[in-house]
Each structure stands twice: as C-alpha cells, then as structure tokens.
Structure 1
Amino acid sequence: MNGLTLQHVAQIGLAIACVALAIYCAVLARRLRRLNDLESGLGGAIAVMTSEVSRLEAALAQTRREAAGAGAQLAAAVENARNERALWAIQTRMAPVSAPGAGVRMRRRRRSDSDDAPSGAEVSDVA
C-alpha cells in the first residue's frame, strides 16, 4: 500500500461519487417518466382536470345565462303584479262611484225611548 497516494484516494472517491450520482440520476429519470405518463401519472391527472375545468366553465356560463333569463322573467312578473295591484286599487276606489247602490250600506238608526215620546211629554220609569 505504499503506492497509494492521496491523489489516488481522491480519484477513487470521485469515481464512487460519480457512480452514486449516476444511479441517483437514473432513479430520478425513471420517476419523472412515470410522473409524466399520460395514462396513470400526473400528466393524465392534469389532462383530466383541464377537461373538467373546461366542462365546468361551460356549465357555469350556461347557468349564468339561465339565471339572467329567470331574473328577467321574475322582474316582468313583479312588474305585472304591481300593475294588477294598481288596477285593482283603482277599480275598488271607482266601484262606489259607478254603482250608486253598491257602496256602503247604511243601517237605520234605532229609535230610543226618548225619540218615541212626543216632544213635550216626559218618560217616567215605574217599577
């Protein structure tokens, strides 16, 4: 071992480090290939998610259009109801004017005992 110098030890260490680094790179390359596989890896998941996002965006746009249409129909229905209410209020106000006997019915007042007696007579209570 007298021929083994410090320079030889450094070169052997470098060679071992290079072999270990080559093995590590090969393992990483294999993992990266599996990760980017479109069938089962992350690439496939990304492709599926992209198509789902596109589908959901289309569904959201359709829902917004339908909601806007429903809002417009609701606004029209509310406006129609307000008009009907105003028309009904006008008709109820005008009804007594147009039909003289159809208005408020008046009751005859009951005559009290003092109204029945002649104007100069007094009413006496006999018990």
Structure 2
Amino acid sequence: MELIADIMLVAGALGAGFYCFVLSRRLSKFTDLEKGVGGAVAVLSAQVDDLTRTLTSAQDSAGESSRSLEELTERAEDAARRLELLVASMHDLPNTPNPEDETVEPIFRRRSRS
C-alpha cells in the first residue's frame, strides 16, 4: 500500500512540475516586451505620455486664444460705447439742409435783338 501511495505521490509531483513548466513558458510569452501584453503596455504608456503632452499644449493654446478673445471683446465693447456716444451726440446737432440735396433750376432769359 505504501508503494502505491509513493507512486501516486511521485506522479502528482511530476504532473505539478510539468504544469509549472508549461505555465512558466506561457507566462514568459505573456510578459514578453516585444510581442506580448508587456509590449502592448509599453506602447500604451508611450501613447499616454504623447497624449498628455499634446493635451497640455492644446490647453495652453486654448488659454492664449481665450485671453486674446477677451481682449478683442473688451476693445469691441469700448468701440461700441464710443459709437453709441457719437450717435447720441448727433441728435444734439441742428438740422441743416444739405446743399447737394437742393436742386438749382436754371434760369432762362431772353434777350432782345436790338
């Protein structure tokens, strides 16, 4: 009976050893930096770094554009206020006829033949 138990124990140990060997080979392929998931993780990490730099650059550009737009808006509002004042001051001017609007009719005179 002890012989059968020892044979079963050795067979189990050999099976566990073979399983560990196969698992080790699969795991080494899985974590390979060129072909496996390790490579994919490395590529994704590099892409995340690139996207972070691009996003930072885009945020800086958007901030500059926003500041420029705010300055232009302020200038436009100032110009609009000045134009409103000029239009309001035009109402205070007296109405003068425009000399170009008056039509001058020609005067015809006859001369005598004497």
TM-score normalized by the length of structure 2: 0.80
Residue of structure 1 equivalent to 2:22: 27
Deviation at 1:101, TM superposition (A): 2.1
Q: After the TM superposition, which segments of 4 or more aligned residues of structure 1 sit over 6 Å from their partners?
A: none
Paired AA for residue 95 in structure 2: G
State the superposition RMSD in angstroms: 1.1
Deviation at 1:96, TM superposition (A): 2.9
Residue of structure 2 equivalent to 1:64: 59
Residue of structure 1 equivalent to 2:76: 81
Paired AA for residue 46 in structure 2: S
Give the SS at the match of 2:33.
coil
| CA–CA distance in structure 2, aligned partners of residues 21 and 75 of structure 1 | 72
Residue of structure 1 equivalent to 2:95: 101
Answer with 1 or 2: which has the greater Rg.
1
Give the SS at the match of 1:100.
coil
Residue of structure 1 equivalent to 2:102: none
Comparing 76-85 and 47-56, the one that deviates more: 76-85
Residue of structure 2 equivalent to 1:106: none
Residue of structure 2 equivalent to 1:53: 48
Structure 1 unmatched runs, 5+? 1-5, 103-127
| CA–CA distance in structure 1, aligned partners of residues 30 and 91 of structure 2 | 85
Which of 9, 12, 15 is 2:10 aligned to? 15
Deviation at 1:74, TM superposition (A): 1.1
CA offsets per residue over residues 41-81 of structure 1, 9 Å max, x none? 11111110110000000000000001101111111111111
| CA–CA distance in structure 1, aligned partners of residues 91 and 67 of structure 2 | 38
Give the SS at the match of 1:39.
coil
